[in-house]
Amino acid sequence: NLILQSDVSYDGFTLTSGASLSRNDVTASIDGEHSNCRVNGSYLLDKKQHCDTTILVHHTKEHGKSNQMFKGILDDHARGIFQGKIFVHKGAQKTDGYQLNNAMMLSDTAEMDVKPELEIYADDVRCSHGATTGRIDEGPLFYLMSRGIDEKTARKMLMQAFLAEAFEEIWHEPTKEIFASEAEKWLDAHSKQD
């Protein structure tokens, strides 16, 4: 459990890949004004891997900010679960909360379950959430291949572009490079044709 007092920032990023079963569970309470809680990540799942991500952020004071951005790619029989909630308590005016989960499915047998939630008891807030699940877009894939790029490379380029927004949430460059390198290895192995 994270408790953020006034004028504090928390910045966390999780890259999930490799474990048969993984669970990321974060509960944060923004108990001071002008604090910022960023809980972001990516997941790269294949075979029969199962990843469950649960995030709950309580905004109890004014002028708090929170950001949740997760992007993942699933292949084979992998299953991902994302449950995120932003809870804005009465009196937590000027709260700015954002939540997004996007998943790319590489197989018909992969599964993604998403439950984004907002519960708001203040009237002067800016909060939003969203979720998408889909396959590689055939239009850009066709475009890249029509320019002479082979299908495997084109698929990898589209997957890299998909993950890039999440990796941009990592502000520490050496950490970003390490995570991007790990993701690169996974993408090399999963750039096959559907």
pLDDT one-digit tens code per residue, 12-52:
999 999 899 999 999 999 999 999 999 999 999 999 999 99
When pLDDT is cut at 50, 70 and 90, the band that residue 193 belongs to is low
Q: pLDDT tens, 62-118?
A: 999 999 999 999 999 999 999 999 999 999 999 999 999 999 999 999 999 999 999
Residue 191: the pLDDT is 80
Q: pLDDT tens, 110-155?
A: 999 999 999 999 999 999 999 999 999 999 999 999 999 999 999 9
Q: What is the DSSP string of the chain?
A: -EEE-TT-EEEEEEEE-S-SEEEEEEEEEE-STT-EEEEEEEEEE-TT-EEEEEEEEEE-STT-EEEEEEEEEE-TT-EEEEEEEEEE-TT-TT-EEEEEEEEEESSTT-EEEEEEEEEE--SS-EEEEEEEEE---HHHHHHHHHTT--HHHHHHHHHHHHHHHHHTT---HHHHHHHHHHHHHHHHHT-S--
Q: pLDDT tens, 144-184?
A: 999 999 999 999 999 999 999 999 999 999 999 999 999 99
Token duo for residue 108: 């018909």
Residue 1: the pLDDT is 87
* Across 5-18, average pLDDT: 94
Average predicted confidence (pLDDT) for the chain: 95
Given a cut of 90, is residue 190 above it in pLDDT? no
